Structure 1
Amino acid sequence: MEKDTALSVQDVADLLNVSKSMIYNLIKKGEINSYTVGRKVRLSEEDVQEYIARSKRGLVAGKEGRTMPASAGLSTPEKKGNGFIICGQDLILDVLSNYMRLYDVQALRAYIGSYDSLVSLYKNKIDVASVHLWDADCDTYNTPYVKRLLPGISSVVVHLICRMQGLYVAKGNPKNITCWEDLGREDITMINREPGAGSRVLLDQNLKRLGIFGSTVKGYNKELQSHLAVASAVSGGEADVAVGSEKIARQVDNIEFIPLKKEHYDLVFKKEDMQKHEVQTMLKVIQSTAFKNEFTHIGGYDTSDMGKIIAEL
């Protein structure tokens, strides 16, 4: 699409994998610019991209045009007392925070990876961490890392969704990339996620299993901060391959997705917080039919066990 293409509310909802009601809510709060043509609401692609960029930096534009801390995003965690902070990068967490605000819970967002989320929870900088960290030794997601990174802290792990992780390659897969071993080929250049991201951990665990050092993989040290960014880099020819989720592959032109691992995307909080109003509200939302229905028909999400408490550690 051209930069100044007019988008409908449904177009933007499809692009961001959220409901139309969420887009109308963002427009109402002045967090994303819009205009009308007759009785039709329209948004420019440039304004949508600016909103995404502000969200990643933890800033949104207020109705007066000024910049303010976002209820929808913090780039780095802050100490408790500044709201209820949910940490992670998937857009499902943005929708969750919006639902919680309907119950008068000031739910804030911090956009950092899984490993750093758990460390921030341990340091009491956030309230909820989202994690998708694979342990190769026991072929298990998340609970081994919770035990290691929250030593001596009783915690609760709640399942949110399952997603398929795999490889982004150029359309037509011209380099015939099919598996983890191919990343060690001399004719392959990858682009990586930052240390601590779930996709980075999945990559590193598989490279270790194969006896491949990251330093020998072309492009391993070039890092970007999101699934969307690495997928776009592959689409634009900056790299041959990147690791990411299937959902994002559906949003980016000129790439294909090679599925390799079904991952569990879970929420973690301290057990001592279980009865707090904010945590109970969060559980009420993610265990509700309305919230689940927001994502049941979105490609790339498996919501069958959403809201299930899978471990108390």
Structure 2
Amino acid sequence: MTQDKSYTTEEVAKLLRISKLTVYDLIKKGELPAYRVGRQMRVDASDLDAYKVKAKGEYTKQAAPVMPAAVPPIEQVQRTGQSTKTRNIIISGQDVSLDILANYLEKEERTYRGLRSYVGSINSLIAMYMGEADIVSTHLYDGETEEYNLPYVRRLLSGHRFVVVNLISRQAGFYIQKGNPKQINTWEDLKRPGVYMVNREKGSGARTLIEEKFRLHGMTGHDVAGYEREETNHLAVAGAVARKEADVGIGIEKASMLVGVDFIPLVRERYDLVILKKEENEHLIQKILQIVGSIAFQKELEAIGGYDLTQTGQIMYETW
């Protein structure tokens, strides 16, 4: 039935013959109702039909002849000194700090509209390479260098000029049930009979940490029960442990506090922003550095808890 059918943002873009950015913009402005299933935005067929009907009505109204006395838009701009052109800025990543960043960007720079894309680190970088994201966040652990982000950014954005700015740092580790009844303390403990894990989706920073640590400890997914079960965010992983559907999961400390499971810290991960260095981004980069380095922004992050702001706002790397 039509009312049961829904579309992804990509499908909506194809049906309306518009870009994905325009779809995000319609959702952001509330003109096209949408909801999230996992990491994917969905639009019901009935809501899409209603939008098309409304759009046709608006087009009919706008098709009426314009009175000669009307002031052309270009004259309005010249008279007021303000530009009505707005640039959509796609900010990709899953941490709540990015939602706060998007709000600050819109509030302080009216020519920007911050649109959020909730996908993992690797997929965010790929979207940037393909020209589908303007600011992406990464927390990707490299086992060879024990460094975060830069090895991946250099490889995935090969041929591009970019700047990497620290947003926050945070603890990542094991979610375990209260009191740690299975005595899980090390990666090798995940291989024990009777221990069941819950995994993260491919392409996420947490999944990259898991795969790198497995490789360094000589482990594979076949060695661990529950490896095939994937969740798409930290809260879902912690929730599975809290409901005793799994004995252990991997994620950030904040989610353990919210859900109410114990947490064993394993690594301090750096959560960075990446922006391409191109002419149209010069002002954007300066604005992001200004916002992230501001006392007001950092106080808002501080109030959330679970973040280390020691390096917040620092340029960690940039190409020339």
Query: How far apart are the structure 2 equivalents of 1:129 and 1:214?
Result: 29
Q: Distance in 1 between matches of 2:250 and 2:237?
A: 8
How many pairs were matched up? Answer: 250
**In the alignment, what sits opposite 2:228?**
221
- Contact 1:189–1:241 at 8 Å: present in 2 too? yes
From 292, 303, 318, the equivalent of 1:312 is: 318
Superposition deviation, residue 214 in structure 1: 1.1
Tell me which residue corresponds to 1:167: 174
Deviation at 1:175, TM superposition (A): 0.3
Asked if the contact 2:191–2:223 (Cα under 8 Å) also holds between the matched residues in 1, the reply is: yes
Tell me the CA shift for residue 151 of structure 1.
1.0
- Mapped to 2, the partners of 1:274 and 1:303 lie a distance apart of 29
Q: Which amino acid aligns with 1:96?
A: L
Is contact 1:193–1:199 with CA below 8 Å preserved after alignment? yes
The match for 1:191 is: 198
Output the CA distance in 2 between the equivalents of 1:52 and 1:293: 30
Pairing 1:87–2:92 present? yes
Match of 1:292 in 2: 298
CA deviation profile, 1:245-264 (whole Å, cap 9, x unmatched): 001111002x1000000000
Residue 135 of structure 2 is matched in structure 1 by 128
Inter-partner Cα distance in structure 2 for 1:55 and 1:118? 19
Structure 1 equivalent of residue 240 of structure 2 = 233
Provide closer, same or farther for how the CA distance between residues 67 and 310 of structure 1 changes in structure 2, counting only shifts above 3 A: farther
Q: Equivalents in 2 of 1:151, 1:30: separation in Å?
A: 35
The aligned residue for residue 264 of structure 1 is: 270
The CA deviation at 1:180 is 1.1
Distance 1:52 1:290, change over 3 A: farther
Runs of 4+ in 1 over 4 A off after TM superposition: 51-60
Contact 2:170 2:271 in 1 (8 A): yes
What secondary structure, in the 3-state scheme, does the structure 2 residue paired with 1:234 have?
helix
Q: Provide the secondary structure at the position in 1 that maps to 2:119.
A: coil
Q: Secondary structure at the match of 1:250?
A: helix
Equivalent position of 1:278 in the other structure: 284
Q: Output one character per residue of 1:32-77: Cα deviation in whole Å (capped at 9) or x when no partner.
A: xxxxxxxxxxxxxxxxxxx9958954479xxxxx999xxxxxxxxx
- State the match for 2:107 in structure 1: 102
Alignment TM-score, normalising by the size of structure 2: 0.72
**For 1:255-299, what per-residue CA distance to the aligned partner results, in whole angstroms no more than 9, with x for missing partners?**
100000000000011112575333332222111110011122433
Could you say if the C-alpha distance between residues 172 and 295 of structure 1 is closer, same or farther in structure 2, counting changes exceeding 3 Å?
same
Change (3 A) 1:195 1:99: same
Question: Alpha carbons of 1:278 and 1:30: their partners in 2 closer, same or farther (altered >3 Å)?
Answer: closer
TM-score using structure 1 length? 0.74
Match of 1:75 in 2: none
How far apart are the structure 2 equivalents of 1:273 and 1:185? 54
Secondary structure, counterpart of 1:93 in structure 2: helix
Structure in which a larger fraction of residues adopt helix: 2
Partner amino acid, structure 2, of 1:178: N
CA distance in 2, matches of 1:84, 1:276: 13
Rate the CA distance shift 1:220–1:67 in 2: closer, same or farther, 3 A: farther
Deviations 1:64-103 (A, max 9, x none): xx999xxxxxxxxxxxx97110100000000110111102
Q: Does 1:145 align with 2:155?
A: no
Taking a change above 3 Å as real, the CA distance of residues 292 and 136 of structure 1, as seen in their structure-2 partners, is same
- Rounded to whole Å, the distance in 1 between the matches of 2:38 and 2:196 is 29
- Structure showing greater radius of gyration is 2
- Per the TM alignment, residue 152 of structure 1 is displaced from its structure 2 partner at its CA by 1.2
SS in 2 for 1:166: strand
CA distance, structure 2, for counterparts of residue 67 and residue 109 of structure 1: 24
Aligned-residue offset at 1:183: 1.1
1:181 to partner: Cα distance: 1.1
* Residue-by-residue CA offset, 1:131-184 (whole Å, 9 max, x unaligned): 000111011000000111111111110001100000000111110101111111
Return closer, same or farther for 1:212/1:197 CA change in 2, 3 Å cut-off. same
Compared CA separation, residues 171 and 133, structure 1 to 2 (3 A):
same
Structure 1 partner of 2:216: 209
What letter is aligned with 2:97?
I
- RMSD after superposition: 2.7
